[in-house]
Amino acid sequence: MNTTVQKKYIVKEKKDTRSGFGCALLDIARKNEKIVALCADLTSSLKMDAFAKEFPERFIQVGIAEANMIGIAAGLATCGFIPFVGSFANFLTGRVYDQIRQVVAYSWKNVKLAASHAGISLGEDGASHQIMEDIALMRALPNMVVLNPCDYNQTYNATIAASQYYGPVYIRFGRPSVPNFTNINQNFVIGKAVTFEEGTDVTIFATGHMVWKALEAWEILKEENISAEVINIHTIKPIDKDSILRSVTKTKCVVVTEEHVINGGLCDAISNILVTHYPIPAEFVAMNDCFGESGKPDELFEKYGLTSTKIAEAAIKVIKRK
Amino acid sequence: MTIDELKKISQQVRRDVIRMISNAGSGHPGGSLGCADFLTTLYFKFMRIKPENFKMDGYGEDVFILSNGHISAAWYSVLARRGYFSIKELSTFRKINSRLQGHPSPSENLPGVRIATGSLGQGLSVAIGIALAKKLKKDPYLTYVLLGDGELQEGQIWEALMFAGAKKVDNLIAIVDYNGLQIDGKTDEVCSLGDLHAKFIAFDWYVLQMNGNDIEDIVKTMNVAIENTGKGKPVIIIMKTIMGYGVDFMMNNHKWHGTPPNLEETQRALQQLPSTLEDF
């Protein structure tokens, strides 16, 4: 019930979220010999090299064969290991959806899907690799927990939390360096939203890389004398319905933002709660129903409208609709 | 256990298969009948298991994965008759609220089942994961996996074959149910598997062949397979079977891949398969 209130965030550095995963993987592996890791030829991209070096026997290089990798992980989990399976989000969801469905989710195996390079911020490699539908795919699967942490420290903590939870978990993180502003010692609880700013005029729900942009929007709005509440939904499933409803009954309008297509992700998850329990105006700052393209992450965020300015504009618009 | 005793059990398994599928009005008799001799021999002669105390992690025992999950009727019958659960439960096959799902799933907590199969091409990878887990735990027991031949058309199978050969997963025995038929017809016509023996050799497996409807040959070949584990190569057996074996009008007819017999056909089939043990 209680949302953690973290009012102070001081950015000392920019770091990639995937390194938060890699660091946590190594730390938990040192404490728990059941942790094993699998990768399909992307070890350094996933920041799994330190694990592979320190625990060569517990690291399985599968080669470029993601379907086989999911099956092997399910077999290891059957025997009591906790496999972390690493690849790009694109190759760890759509490419192997049926494998995940059958031998992980339906079979209720304790497999952790560590998906890097999610979203448009993957950048120059282009739309072939920029999956924007992965949350929708994973969220639709029964038994699957879906985490989308917002910075290095939160990804570190999400990885540890995933290892301590029994069951399938999808952890989504990214490639670029982004502000690292949450507390390394935060109390990360799966399924519990985090309120970064309290406000009364509008609630901004944000996940992943969009959380920092939501905080920048909060500052823009503050200058306009608009009091925005900023809530970080790091767990998209199971979603923190209580915290969401507690906030919206106060602010009575909503902006949802995510680095994902507008269909099937956080926008839909929150819409579902609103129309069922508390129908109020909502606006969405997410990827439209289209593919991305090559470019630098910031250029892509700008071109596809995933910016703090767009979030602030959406907030002003939705307040008028109250 | 003698050959005659094994034959007696496998005939009852065939009878169970016909009765279960007829009772459900749905299921896959062809492959189930074809593999009854092998599954019986595996579970009653070779596998070192603890049916009365089923543990998911399979530590300290042999583990079997049925990758071609559609022949669940035969597997469930063998599991029940080996003591994993009551033979009475076979009557619930494919019915509402049953643990005996159309395709096997651990979601129903049915003892003996460790992974959901039936979406083809995935069981070999899972078996490799179990075999690797046994190596990590220094557990000197074996992992077995049964694959359909049509299933070998799935790309994931070849990912897994390549991996197991390359990584020397030598505590693993795979068996291919080579009956030459699949839903749409002859495997050679749908999409020929070509020279399987040569392909498996090329993927660095130790390859054997046997007649899966001759229990003596199964016993002999399985002994050779087991002797050849732990020698740096995974072992695979190309097991020639006849789809529908034991029921004359079902034999070698792909129509019986996934069609239940009607009442008259059921009676004719059961006349050919007199009970050798108590019926469920």
User: Is position A66 annotated as part of the catalytic site?
Assistant: yes
Q: In chain B, which residue's Cα lies nearest the Cα of A64? A: B159
> pLDDT tens, A218-228?
999 999 999 99
Question: Reading across the β-sheet that carries B172-178, which strands appear in turn?
Answer: B63-66, B143-148, B172-178, B235-240, B206-211
Q: How confident is the model at residue A2 (pLDDT cuts 50, 70, 90)?
A: very low
d(CA A286, CA A213): 12
A162 and A224 inside one domain? no
Percent above pLDDT 70 for chain A: 97
* Contact (CB<8Å) A79/B130: yes
**Within this chain, do residues A59 and A158 fall inside the same structural domain, yes or no?**
yes
* Residue A184 placed within a domain: no
Which of A66, A68, A70, A103 is the best residue to mutate to test the B interface, defined by the most B CB atoms within 10 Å of its own CB?
Answer: A68
> Is the CB of B105 less than 8 angstroms away from the CB of A106?
yes
Contacts of A72 in chain B (CB under 8 A): 125-126, 128-129, 132, 163
CA distance B275 to chain A (A): 35
A with B: how many residue pairs have Cβ under 8 Å apart? 112
Looking at the structure, tell me whether residues A248 and A104 fall in a common domain: no
pLDDT digits (tens, 9 = 90+) for A51-104: 999 999 999 999 999 999 999 999 999 999 999 999 999 999 999 999 999 999
Number of domains in chain A: 2
DSSP A245: H
d(CA A210, CA A236): 14
Looking at beta carbons, which residues of chain A come within 8 Å of B159? 63, 65, 67-68
CB contact under 8 A, B107 and A107: yes
Instruction: Please indicate, yes or no, whether residues A240 and A138 belong to a single structural domain of this protein.
Output: no
Catalytic residue selected from A13, A66, A216, A223? A66
* Cα atoms in the 13 Å half-sphere on the side-chain side of A115: 32
Instruction: Compute CA B267 distance to the chain's CA centroid, rounded to the nearest angstrom.
Output: 25
CB contact under 8 A, A98 and B119: yes
CB contact under 8 A, A108 and B106: yes
**Nearest-CA distance B58 → chain A (Å):** 6
CA–CA separation, A169 vs A183, rounded Å? 23
**A58–B156 C-beta distance less than 8 A:** no
Q: Is the pLDDT of residue A11 over 90?
A: no
Which string of b and e fits A111-126 if b means at least 16 CB within 10 Å?
bbbbbbbbbbbbbeee
Give yes or no for residue A5 having a pLDDT over 90: no
Task: Record the tokens describing residue B59, joined without a space.
Answer: 């530590």
Query: Looking at the structure, do residues A44 and A121 belong to the same domain, yes or no?
Result: yes
Q: Is the pLDDT of residue A6 over 90?
A: no
Question: A279 is in which domain, residue-wise?
Answer: 194-320
Q: Is residue A31 part of a domain?
A: yes
Nearest to B163 among A63, A99, A102 (CB): A63
Closest by CA position to A209, among listed A244, A234, A241, A235: A234
User: Is it true that domain B3-272 has CATH number 3.40.50.720?
Assistant: no
Determine the residue of chain A that is closest to B139 in CA distance.
A79
Instruction: Say what the pLDDT of residue A311 is.
Output: 98
Are A115 and A80 contained in the same domain? yes
What pLDDT does residue B168 have?
98
Q: How far apart are CA B229 and CA B21, in angstroms?
A: 36
Task: Answer yes or no: is A5 within a domain.
Answer: no
How close A311 gets to chain B, by Cα (Å)?
43
Beta-carbon separation of A62 and B163 below 8 A: yes
Distance of CA B49 to the CA centre of its chain: 16
**∠ Cα B122 B125 B126 (to 5°):** 85
Contacts of A62 in chain B (CB under 8 A): 163
Task: Pick B129's closest partner by Cβ from A67, A76, A106.
Answer: A76
pLDDT band at A12 (very low <50, low <70, confident <90, very high): confident
Q: Is residue A2 part of a domain?
A: no
Task: Locate B57 and state its tokens.
Answer: 């992690």
Query: A114 is written with which tokens?
Result: 């560590």
> pLDDT digit of tens for each residue in chain B (280 aa)?
999 999 999 999 999 999 999 999 999 999 999 999 999 999 999 999 999 999 999 999 999 999 999 999 999 999 999 999 999 999 999 999 999 999 999 999 999 999 999 999 999 999 999 999 999 999 999 999 999 999 999 999 999 999 999 999 999 999 999 999 999 999 999 999 999 999 999 999 999 999 999 999 999 999 999 999 999 999 999 999 999 999 999 999 999 999 999 999 999 999 999 999 999 9
Domain boundary among A179, A210, A244: A179
A234 and A90 in one domain? no
Confidence at residue A4, expressed as pLDDT on a 0 to 100 scale: 36
Residue A313: the pLDDT is 98
- Among chain B residues, the shortest Cα distance to A65 is held by B159
A122 and A28 together in one domain = yes
| Best CA proximity match to B3, nearest among B216, B259, B278 | B216
User: Which domain-ending residue is among A179, A214, A249?
Assistant: A179
| Mean pLDDT confidence for A33-41 | 98
The contacts of residue A74 (CB under 8 Å, 6+ apart) are A103, A104, A107, A109, A111, B115, B125, B126, B129
| Residue A67: closest C-alpha in chain B | B156
Q: Is residue A188 part of a domain?
A: no
The residue from A124, A155, A179 where one domain ends is A179
CB contact under 8 A, B116 and A73: no
Q: What is the CATH number of the domain that holds A272?
A: 3.40.50.920
Tell me the CATH number at A49.
3.40.50.970
Torsional class of B193: left (φ above 0), alpha (ψ -120 to 50), beta (otherwise): alpha
pLDDT in the model for residue B266:
98
Binned at pLDDT 50, 70 and 90, residue A8 comes out as low
Distances (CA, A) of A296 to A123, A176, A303: 5, 10, 11
Does a cis peptide bond (omega within 30 degrees of 0) precede residue A238? yes
A2 secondary structure, DSSP code: P
pLDDT at A29 over 70: yes
Contact A159/A20 with Cβ under 8 angstroms? yes
When pLDDT is cut at 50, 70 and 90, the band that residue A252 belongs to is very high
CB contact under 8 A, B156 and A102: no
Residues A214 and A307 grouped into a single domain: yes
Chain B residues whose CB is inside 8 A of the A79 CB are: 57-59, 129-130, 133-134, 137
